[in-house]
Amino acid sequence: MVRWRILVGTAVAVLTAAAMGATASPASAAPTGNGDAVVPTTNVVGGTRATQGEFPFMVRLSMGCGGALYSSTIVLTAAHCVGSTGTNTSITATLGVVDLNSTSKITRKSNYVYRAPGYNGSGKDWALIRLASPVTGLATLPLNTSSTYDTGNFTIAGWGAATEGGSQQRYLLKATVPFVSDATCNSSSMYNGEIIASNEICAGFTAGGVDTCQGDSGGPMFRTGASGLVQVGIVSWGDGCARPNKPGVYTQVSYFASTIAAAATSLGG
C-alpha cells in the first residue's frame, strides 16, 4: 500500500528524519471557477502538460518533492519531505520552468528548514524552506485564509509519477479535481475515519483516474479566490494513486495559514 507521495529511493534519509512522513504532489490541473462540474481527464496521474509560465510559483525540490513559492526566499512544502527544523544547505530548488531539463531553469540552495511544530507523521504536514538567495521575477502563491475557498474545484500540478509506481516526469503536469467532503472521505468506502477533519482536505473523483502521486508531495493544490489564485492544500498522502474511492489527501492550508505566515515572517520571508 503506497501512502506517502514522495519518490521512493530519492529521499530515504528524509523519510527517516521526518518520522517516515511523505507528501504527494499535485499531478496537474488548470485553474477553475467556484463550483462547476468537473469531468475527469484521462490521467494525472494522467494530467496534461502545463504551459511555460502558467504556474510560475511551482517549485521542484531535489529530495523528490514539490513546493510553492510563498515569497522570494520561502518555499512552502510538506513536513514529511524534510528533516527537523534547523540549518539545512542540502536542498536544491528548481523554479521558473515546466521542463526540468530546460537551460532557463532557476536554481537556489536552501539554508534553513522549518518543520511544523509537533509534526509526528499524522497531520500538521507543512514545512518552510528558506532559500539562500531571493528569486526575482516569479509570482508567489498566497495562502488561502478563508474556508469559503475550501470547496469547489481545485488545480493540482507537479512533476511526480504519472502512474502509480512510476518515475518522476520531466514536464510539469496539471489537472482539475473536485472537493470531497470530510464526511464522505472518512466514510467506510473511502478512508474509514483516517482523515483528520480539522486540518486535512480531500479532493478527487469517486471513479479515480485523476490524482497526485509519488513525487508530488509538498506541492500545492490551488483555486481562484477573491483576488486570484490561492493555495488551498499541500499534497500529503493517499492510498496508491488515482484509485477508485481513494481521493488525494491534502494539508488544509486555511487551518494553518496564520501559523505558516508567522513562521515565514520569523525566517525573514
Count CB-CB contacts under 10 A for residue 4: 25
Annotated catalytic residue 182: no
| pTM over cut 0.75 | yes
In CATH terms, 58-140+257-266 corresponds, of 3.40.50.300, 1.10.3720.10, 2.40.10.10, 2.60.40.10, to 2.40.10.10
Annotated catalytic residue 125: yes
Each residue's pLDDT tens digit, 33-48: 333 444 333 334 768 9
The residue from 80, 211, 236, 254 that is catalytic is 80
The residue from 25, 71, 110, 217 that is catalytic is 217
Alpha carbons 41 and 38: distance in angstroms, whole number = 9
Fold that domain 20-53+142-254 belongs to in CATH = Thrombin, subunit H (2.40.10)
The residue from 25, 28, 125, 216 that is catalytic is 125
Alpha carbons 206 and 228: distance in angstroms, whole number = 28
Query: What is the Cβ-side half-sphere exposure of residue 254, based on CA atoms within 13 angstroms?
Result: 17
Q: Which residue has the cell 483528520?
A: 196
Alpha carbons 224 and 156: distance in angstroms, whole number = 13
Q: What share of the chain is helix, strand, coil (3-state, %, to 5)?
A: 10, 30, 60
Per-residue pLDDT for the chain (269 aa), expressed as one digit of tens each? 446 778 755 443 333 333 333 333 333 333 333 334 443 333 347 689 999 999 999 999 999 999 999 999 999 999 999 999 999 999 999 999 999 999 999 999 999 999 999 999 999 999 999 999 999 999 999 999 999 999 999 999 999 999 998 888 999 999 999 999 999 999 999 999 999 999 999 999 999 999 999 999 999 999 999 999 999 999 999 999 999 999 999 999 999 999 999 999 999 98
Annotated catalytic residue 80: yes
Domain 20-53+142-254 matches domain 58-140+257-266 at the CATH topology level: yes
Domain boundaries, given as residue ranges, for the chain: 20-53+142-254, 58-140+257-266
